[in-house]
């Protein structure tokens, strides 16, 4: 029988949150065991953020070629080798893989076990025939694509975000079920790469974001030829002659849509099955492991980070939570997770970013005092780049504090970085007004939006009289 491993920390899951936790703990000389049953790097590297952004980048190059005439450059319609595009995607993954590899983590002093992990009791885990008794555990096993109970779907070939990147033939007509970020991103990328694309959404597209901002994204997709069908409930799927046949209801008679390929992108479900959470005394439900503000579960030995912790399902959130749990585990410091400053970005073209509450959310909570806007069209860099479709919105609370912000347009994801700092540090419009932005940059729109707050003061009679009075003193 293999000896029992007794590390200070055992991390279950080799995705973004788990790897961050393991690497940081090992850097302090802590004995760490990392258990991963699948590919190192998890969903983000292999099926999510990395391959999707690589595919989106290919689509952006196609769009740039088609739009080159606006800059006085004459080119023809680009020829797209879809299999070569997928080689590009695979190459990007391969370039990043060494950072997340077993070899790298073993070089850091981490003991890596490549097997399924399951709690045997409240303080013991079994994995690959080995027993681990750690002082603390961090569960970071992520989530998997949610497959809705649509009649006939199980008997019909379909893709999820975990399988769509294996497809090497260009879809003639890709039908996407789900109008969230994943569905919308993949729809635009495949359309730009030459596929006909239809997106079916039972509710509203990009429903977590500000409708004023999402309208700009959806307008661009429609201009590019993506068919967007909202309030379209998928009630059945069958095999047609040339691919899946999807039946939808939109309030009237049922309608059928023939596709060559079907992508299901309706969300993700936490990977709670098979972990032995009951044996460990860890409370959980369909949303994941139940944790407190310190990310600790009902078993005081066990923490959870990332998708399995039931919060926002983003790689950067998993990394943020990993940084939090290390403080009590390594230094006995108290922590409390905040979610009011967590940003998210949809990487369409134009990009769409949000941090903090939207205008509607702030109003519903009774926190809304003002909203400031500034259009991309009034930004000189946007004019030079010919990307003038966009808008920033600053959501203000009391005394001009920026409690939320949304931006849609070119490089909105990068601008969201600054907005995340502003919201997270509880800054005001005065802070945005006073920072010096290099010219010409797109980030100037945040500063310009902040100055709108002071525009009413220029019309106040008292202020004008004061300026006039002061002018008399030379």
- pLDDT 10s digits, 192-212: 999 999 999 999 999 999 999
Query: Is 70 exceeded by the pLDDT of residue 164?
Result: yes
Report the alpha-carbon angle 306-312-317, nearest 5: 50
Residue 185, marked binder = yes
N- to C-terminal Cα distance for the chain? 92
Q: Does the structure show a pLDDT above 70 at 167?
A: yes
**pLDDT tens digits for 60-98?**
999 999 999 999 999 989 999 999 999 999 999 999 999
> With bands split at pLDDT 50, 70 and 90, how would you rate the model's confidence at 313?
very high
Q: What is the pTM (predicted TM-score) of this model?
A: 0.94
Q: Is residue 180 part of a domain?
A: yes
Q: Which residues of 278-308 are buried (b: 16+ CB within 10 A; e: fewer)?
A: eebbbebeeebbebeeebbbebebbbbbbbb
Any domain includes 303: yes
Give the number of domains in the chain.
Answer: 3
Predicted local distance difference test score (pLDDT) of residue 431: 96
* C-beta of residue 25 within 8 angstroms of C-beta of residue 32: yes
Domain membership of residue 23 (yes or no) is: yes
Residue 53 annotated as lining a ligand binding site: yes
Per mean pLDDT, which range of 39-48, 115-124, 343-352, 457-466 is the poorest? Answer: 457-466
Q: Do 227 and 190 share a structural domain?
A: yes
Same-domain status, 379 and 403: yes
Q: What is the pLDDT of residue 330?
A: 96
- Asked, for residue 467, whether it belongs to a domain, the answer is no
Of 1-10, 187-196, 217-226, 284-293, the least confident: 1-10
Whether pLDDT at 457 is above 80:
no
Domain stops at, among 230, 250, 266: 266
Contact between 278 and 122 under an 8 Å Cβ cutoff? The reply is no
109 shares a domain with 191: no
Q: How many CB atoms lie within 10 A of CB 163?
A: 14
How far is the C-alpha of 55 from the C-alpha of 41, rounded, in Å?
Answer: 18
Say whether 179 counts as a known binding-site residue.
yes
Give the pLDDT confidence score for residue 1 in this predicted structure. Answer: 63
248 and 105 both lie in a single domain? no
Give residue 32's domain range: 9-40+101-145+269-331
Mean pLDDT of the chain: 96
pLDDT for the residue 458: 77
pLDDT for the residue numbered 471: 86
> Same domain, yes or no, for 23 and 133?
yes
Task: Please tell me whether residues 21 and 139 are part of one structural domain.
Answer: yes
Last residue of a domain, one of 241, 266, 291: 266
The reply, when asked if residue 182 is annotated as ligand binding, is yes
Q: Is residue 4 part of a domain?
A: no
Provide the phi-psi class of 175: left if phi over 0, else alpha when psi is between -120 and 50, else beta: beta
User: What pLDDT, on a 0 to 100 scale, did the predictor assign at position 463?
Assistant: 73
pLDDT of 196 reads: 98
- CATH number of the domain that 372 lies in? 3.30.390.30
The answer to whether the beta carbons of residues 388 and 394 sit under 8 Å apart is: no
Q: Please check whether residues 261 and 317 belong to one and the same domain.
A: no
How confident is the model over 326-343, as a mean pLDDT? 96
Residue 189 lies in a domain: yes
Question: In this structure, what CATH number is given to the domain that contains residue 309?
Answer: 3.50.50.60
> Is 251's pLDDT higher than 90?
no
User: 400: alpha, beta or left, given left = phi > 0 and alpha = psi -120 to 50?
Assistant: left
The answer to whether 161 touches 146, Cβ cutoff 8 Å, is no
183 is in an annotated binding site: yes
In degrees and rounded to multiples of 5, residue 245 shows phi and psi of -115, 120
Q: Determine the pLDDT at residue 114.
A: 97
pLDDT of amino acid 160: 96
Domain annotation covers residue 56: no
Does 178 show up as a binding residue in the annotation?
yes
Q: Check pLDDT > 70 for residue 13.
A: yes
Q: From 266, 283, 300, give the residue that closes a domain.
A: 266
Q: Is residue 205 part of a domain?
A: yes
172 and 201 in a single domain? The answer is yes
CB atoms near residue 133 (< 10 Å): 15
pLDDT over threshold 70, residue 452: yes
Q: Are residues 28 and 136 in the same domain?
A: yes
pLDDT band at 470 (very low <50, low <70, confident <90, very high): confident
pLDDT above 90 (res 56): yes
Percent of the chain with pLDDT over 70: 100
Tell me whether the omega of the peptide bond preceding residue 350 falls within 30 degrees of 0, making it cis: yes
User: Is 267 assigned to a binding site?
Assistant: yes
Residue 465 is predicted with a pLDDT of: 80
* Rounded percentage of the chain residues whose pLDDT exceeds 90: 93
Segment 151-171 mean pLDDT? 96
- What mean pLDDT comes out for the span 351-360? 98
Q: Are residues 246 and 364 in the same domain?
A: no
DSSP 8-state symbol, 371: E
Please count the other Cβ atoms lying within 10 Å of the Cβ belonging to residue 472: 6
Query: Both 350 and 327 in a single domain?
Result: no
Task: Say whether pLDDT at 469 is over 90.
Answer: no
pLDDT of residue 447: 94
- Give the 3-state secondary structure of residue 428: strand
Q: Say whether both 140 and 18 belong to one domain.
A: yes
């Amino acid at each position: 029988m293999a000896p029992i491993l007794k590390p200070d920390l055992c991390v279950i899951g080799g995705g973004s949150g788990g790897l961050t936790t393991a690497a940081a703990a090992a850097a302090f000389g802590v004995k760490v065991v990392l258990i991963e049953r699948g590919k190192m790097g998890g969903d983000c590297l292999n099926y999510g953020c990395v391959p999707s952004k690589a595919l989106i980048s290919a689509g952006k190059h196609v769009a740039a070629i088609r739009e080159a005439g606006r800059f006085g450059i004459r080119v023809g319609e680009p020829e797209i080798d879809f299999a070569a595009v997928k080689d590009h995607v695979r190459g990007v993954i391969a370039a990043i893989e060494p950072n997340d590899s077993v070899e790298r983590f073993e070089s850091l002093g981490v003991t890596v076990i490549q097997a399924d992990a399951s709690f045997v009791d409240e303080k013991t885990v079994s994995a690959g025939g080995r027993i681990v008794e750690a002082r603390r555990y961090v569960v970071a096993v992520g989530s998997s694509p949610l497959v809705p109970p649509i009649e006939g779907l199980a008997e019909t070939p379909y893709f999820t975000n975990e399988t769509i990147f294996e497809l090497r033939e260009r879809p003639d007509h890709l039908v996407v079920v789900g109008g969230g970020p994943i569905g919308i991103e993949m729809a635009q990328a495949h359309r730009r790469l030459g596929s006909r694309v239809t997106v079916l959404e039972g509710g509203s597209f990009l429903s977590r974001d500000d409708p004023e901002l999402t309208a700009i994204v959806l307008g661009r997709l429609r201009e590019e030829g993506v068919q967007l069908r909202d309030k379209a409930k998928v009630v059945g799927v069958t095999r047609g002659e040339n691919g899946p046949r999807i039946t939808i209801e939109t309030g009237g008679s049922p309608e059928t849509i023939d596709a060559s390929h079907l992508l299901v992108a309706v969300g993700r479900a936490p990977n709670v099955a098979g972990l032995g959470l009951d044996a460990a005394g860890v409370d959980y439900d369909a949303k994941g492991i139940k944790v407190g503000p310190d990310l600790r579960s009902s078993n005081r030995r066990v923490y959870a980070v990332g998708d399995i912790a039931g919060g926002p399902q983003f790689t950067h959130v998993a990394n943020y939570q990993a940084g939090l749990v290390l403080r009590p585990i390594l230094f006995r410091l108290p922590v409390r997770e905040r979610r009011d400053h967590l940003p998210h970005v949809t990487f369409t073209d134009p990009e769409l970013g949000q941090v903090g509450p939207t205008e509607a959310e702030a109003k519903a909570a009774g926190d809304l005092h003002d909203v400031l806007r500034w259009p991309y069209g009034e930004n000189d860099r946007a004019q030079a780049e010919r990307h003038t479709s966009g808008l920033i919105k600053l959501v203000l609370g009391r005394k001009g504090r920026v409690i939320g912000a949304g931006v849609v347009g070119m490089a909105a994801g990068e601008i969201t970085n600054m907005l995340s700092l502003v919201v997270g540090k509880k800054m005001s419009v005065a802070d945005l007004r006073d920072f010096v932005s290099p010219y010409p940059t797109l980030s100037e729109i945040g500063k310009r939006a902040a100055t709108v707050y002071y525009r009413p003061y220029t019309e106040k009679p008292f202020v004008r009289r004061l300026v006039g009075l002061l002018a008399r003193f030379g």
